[in-house]
Structure 1
Amino acid sequence: MSAAGRRSPAYGYYVVACLMLASAFSFLDRLVLSLLIDPIRADMGLSDSEVSLLAGLAFASCYVLFAFGFGRWVDTRSRRDALVVGVSLWSVATALCGTAQGYWQLFVARMGVGVGEASLNPAAYSIIPDYLPPERRGLAMSIFACGASLGGGLAILAGGLVVQWALATRPGLPLLGDVAPWQFVFVAVGLPGLLVAALIWLTVREPERRLTAADQADAPALREVLRFVRTHWRAIVPMFLGYGAFAMNGYAFQLWGPAYFMRLHGLTPGEVGMIFGLGYGVIGTLAILLGGVISDSLVRRGRIEAPALVSIAAALIQAPCFLFAYLSDATGPAIAGFVGGIFGASLIGGLQAATVQSLAPNRMRGLMAALFGATVNVMGLGLAPTLTAGMSDTVFDGPMGIGKALAATTLLAMTFAVLLLATALAPARRLARRLAGQPISNPPSTTSSVPVT
């Protein structure tokens, strides 16, 4: 394929579709554990705390740590190759969860899932802007982000069906013979990811980097990236922390939302799965795409900071919806409010990535994505679930106070998200325009090179 063909919008969107497929498998492999908690606990005699370490610490610690290694790889070498290695690693590690004979074997396998998945965002954040120009990136990153909604919905809907079937039939596995149903599920959802790795290896080509006057000839080291962040901290730090606040709310309702509906509204796991599956898979996907379309429209009008503007609007939509859902005594209105909250939360799906891309020179995007991922995962996966549970146990009414705890988490997180993003808007606009070679004070009319200092 010629260089021009590799740069065509049609092929660029094909690459985005491949990345979206990889993202869907990453969320399926990441979330399937939540469907298997009780069978694993029963077979291994684990406590809730031990299982929570599998879901959080084992995955998140390696994800954050290895994101920097993959980020450096992405900035210096082939992003396609980094992605192929990562997808293969997390797929094999998920399957190895199904061969674990003890807690620590399962713990190490979950660490491997985190290591592999650390490759995805740095590679995608870097490769997509080299295929598509700024006015197309909001939609492109939103398509990529649909992997999370589609993968999350698939994990809850189809994954639940696989779990139910495996529990009823107790199928065996070649070479392994009779295994526990939860082991079969890990192998069944893990190995198909190798086909995705093969698809990327065979059909995705490494694009030329779109370098500007802000880029160095060689990829900068981490210390230079940190120096860039310090220089432009007014734009970058509050923006990253603001999206971290979004993640706090997101991880809280993903983990404790099912418990809220089952405890306070008496829904069955199947009914909760339908709410989450359809909410993410349909409403969430439509919202992600809508957010990207709106952002791209504003960028074309000269508002290069549009991803952050739409994100602020998303916070103002989701906050009242979630508060209404968590504090409602009636099941129907609670479900309606919750789905509305999912819509608002999903609007930012691709916009946070577009923001990171606009605030980093090309050769820094891998490590900047790693820094962003570390911030979001520490605040979201590391803090939010425990914070919500702690408020339920100590401030409200114990297990039955989970709705009030979720409401408090939403109110705190969305307040901080709006304040932080609003604080960063003006400096982020200036930085993004410098990096894009646009005039700083007025909407762009002609292209010029403005170095970043």
Structure 2
Amino acid sequence: MSAPELSEAAGATAGAKGDGPAVSAPTNSAYGYYVVGVLMVAYMFSFIDRTLLSLVIDPIREDLGLSETQISLLAGFAFAAFYTLLGLPFGRWVDTRGRRNLIAVGIALWSLATVFCGLANSFWRLFAARMAVGVGEATLSPAAYSIIPDYFTPQRLGFAMGLYSCGVTLGGGVAMLIGGVVVQWATTAQPVLPFVGQVSAWKVPFLVVGFPGLLVALLVLLTVKEPPRRLERGGAASVAPKVSEVVAYLWAHRRVFAPLFAGFSGIVITGYAFNVWGPAYFMRVHAFQPAQVGLLYGVGFGVFGTLGVLAGGALSDRVAKGGKHDAPLRVSIWSAVVQAPLFIGAYLAPSATVAAGLFIVALFFGSVYGGLQAAAIQALTPNRMRGQVAALYLTIANMIGLGLAPTWTAWMTENVFGGPQDVGKSLAMTTVISLSVGVLLLALALKPAHRQIEELL
């Protein structure tokens, strides 16, 4: 069955209030890929600002006199609290108003908040700045999850969402690569900044990456157009539903959405665990310097992780063309099965070379599902409620993944395995539990997902 056609009428009905009139855009056009590219850059900056703290965990802990648990709260809960709390209201905004302006404002907010992270001189000020980063970043993915499918047919959506999701791997890689070099330089140079004076080495990367984000916000505002929303099956206008209607839809299809959300959340735990504690593991256990960790993540996350995301999207599209419309789930399950022993081996290997090699390969398979979680949710959701459903998923996944993974891992390090040097054992245990649960739940979602996608096509 052919994909629904774009319609100016649908754009006028569902609207882009405050973003100007909806602009017609040919499906799969070069401009559509340009929009995905710009959104990917925005996502890259969001992930840089989100994960940069993990590179300077020990310097912050020493400078501010913090415990492992306090650091985990800065890395996880402080960000996740408002990121998840505001996800649902922003999702409602996405379904009822324009998406472009919301993205631009969000980028500007989280970029300024990142600068304030670099100016904080106490636990609570850094905690507040991290919360503000979460507020800004809560705007991006619900809007992107909604806007990208308006440019692409379902047969091309997997690759498009995978391209957007490359922002995670590129952002994580760039954050570590640039951050590692900057931290190492600042440790030696002890820079003195205008209006600020001499700053601790760990603060400098936040200042370096925060300000350029404002240029990305301007790029979105000036060059991204609000596309008309697709018509629903049968030609119905894409009018945003009430919250009660979204809740009713999710409840009616709970046999697919419950295991789907929980299953992907389980896999997300593994990702946030290595994002937050992976750098500390290599520096503590294998005596890596910040620049060495930056290079490891730059190659592993930035290069191999990006290739994994793109490979996952391309493979999912290929499987989908063969008639298996639940392809995003199938590919995600297999990627989780393959990555588990690789990550476990990396965290327990006595050799730094073996650990780094296994980690790089694991990052490829650990990134395969990156765009597939979004593709699966969009394929299971009517166009007019995609923003709200995507926001709900992100709320659940990030509260579980980012809210739980850093603190759970820190708790095991302190109370089960004996101290900071045993963080690798905590990471291995987190990986075993989260991936096992994730695979089991996604497997339960396969059959109902296939039936539901067939109904929406």
Normalising to structure 2: TM-score of the pair? 0.89
1:227-376 residue pairs with structure 2 within 5 A? Answer: 227-376=248-397
1:436-447 residue pairs with structure 2 within 5 A? Answer: 436=457
1:61-140 residue pairs with structure 2 within 5 A? Answer: 61-140=81-160
Cα distance in 2 for partners of 1:21, 1:310 equals 25
Q: Please, which moves more after superposition, 269-278 or 221-230?
A: 269-278
1:211-226 residue pairs with structure 2 within 5 A? Answer: 211-213=231-233, 217-226=238-247
1:419-430 residue pairs with structure 2 within 5 A? Answer: 419-430=440-451
Q: Please, which moves more after superposition, 148-157 or 333-342?
A: 333-342
> Are the structure 2 counterparts of residues 360 and 276 from structure 1 closer, same or farther at C-alpha, using a change threshold of 3 Å?
same
Q: 1:385 aligns with which of 400, 406, 414?
A: 406
Cα distance in 2 for partners of 1:188, 1:261 equals 24
Deviations along 1:424-448, one digit per CA (max 9) or x if unpaired, are: 0111111112122xxxxxxxxxxxx
Match for residue 447 of structure 1? none
Greater relative contact order (Cα 8 A, min sep 6): structure 1 or 2? 2
Match for residue 205 of structure 1? 225
Match for residue 54 of structure 2? 34
Cα distance in 2 for partners of 1:192, 1:116 equals 15
Amino acid at match of 1:223: S
- Offset of 1:42 from its aligned partner? 4.6
Deviations along 1:101-140, one digit per CA (max 9) or x if unpaired, are: 5433332221111000001110110000001111111111
Match for residue 431 of structure 2? 410
> Are the structure 2 counterparts of residues 324 and 37 from structure 1 closer, same or farther at C-alpha, using a change threshold of 3 Å?
closer
Q: CA RMSD in A?
A: 2.3
SS at match of 1:36: helix
SS at match of 1:338: helix
Cα distance in 2 for partners of 1:225, 1:277 equals 40
Cα distance in 1 for partners of 2:62, 2:278 equals 23
- Offset of 1:175 from its aligned partner? 4.2
Deviations along 1:41-60, one digit per CA (max 9) or x if unpaired, are: 45444444333322222111
8 Å Cα contact 2:27-2:153 kept in structure 1: no
% identity of equivalent residues: 52
Cα distance in 2 for partners of 1:219, 1:420 equals 30
- Offset of 1:293 from its aligned partner? 0.5
Cα distance in 1 for partners of 2:384, 2:22 equals 23
Cα distance in 1 for partners of 2:396, 2:33 equals 28
Cα distance in 2 for partners of 1:170, 1:324 equals 38
Cα distance in 1 for partners of 2:385, 2:28 equals 24
Cα distance in 2 for partners of 1:72, 1:194 equals 25
Q: Please, which moves more after superposition, 124-133 or 355-364?
A: 355-364
Amino acid at match of 2:454: R
1:104-183 residue pairs with structure 2 within 5 A? Answer: 104-183=124-203
Match for residue 439 of structure 1? none
- Offset of 1:326 from its aligned partner? 2.8
- Offset of 1:181 from its aligned partner? 4.2
Cα distance in 1 for partners of 2:121, 2:69 equals 19
> Are the structure 2 counterparts of residues 403 and 104 from structure 1 closer, same or farther at C-alpha, using a change threshold of 3 Å?
closer
- Offset of 1:296 from its aligned partner? 0.9
Match for residue 211 of structure 2? 191
Cα distance in 2 for partners of 1:70, 1:2 equals 19
Q: Please, which moves more after superposition, 12-21 or 292-301?
A: 292-301
- Offset of 1:314 from its aligned partner? 0.2
Amino acid at match of 2:83: Y
- Offset of 1:8 from its aligned partner? 4.9
8 Å Cα contact 1:326-1:407 kept in structure 2: yes
Deviations along 1:384-425, one digit per CA (max 9) or x if unpaired, are: 223333334444454444333322222221211111111101
8 Å Cα contact 1:229-1:236 kept in structure 2: yes
Structure 1 unaligned regions, length at least 5:
437-453
Deviations along 1:61-81, one digit per CA (max 9) or x if unpaired, are: 000011112111110011111
Amino acid at match of 1:330: S
8 Å Cα contact 1:247-1:376 kept in structure 2: yes
SS at match of 1:211: coil
SS at match of 2:86: helix
Match for residue 42 of structure 2? 22
SS at match of 1:53: helix
> Are the structure 2 counterparts of residues 414 and 35 from structure 1 closer, same or farther at C-alpha, using a change threshold of 3 Å?
closer
- Aligned residue pairs total 436
SS at match of 1:56: helix
Q: Give the ranges of 4+ consecutive aligned residues of structure 1 lying more than 6 Å apart after TM superposition.
A: none
8 Å Cα contact 2:181-2:294 kept in structure 1: no
- Offset of 1:177 from its aligned partner? 4.8
Cα distance in 2 for partners of 1:49, 1:173 equals 31
Amino acid at match of 2:152: L
- Offset of 1:275 from its aligned partner? 1.9
> Are the structure 2 counterparts of residues 340 and 40 from structure 1 closer, same or farther at C-alpha, using a change threshold of 3 Å?
closer
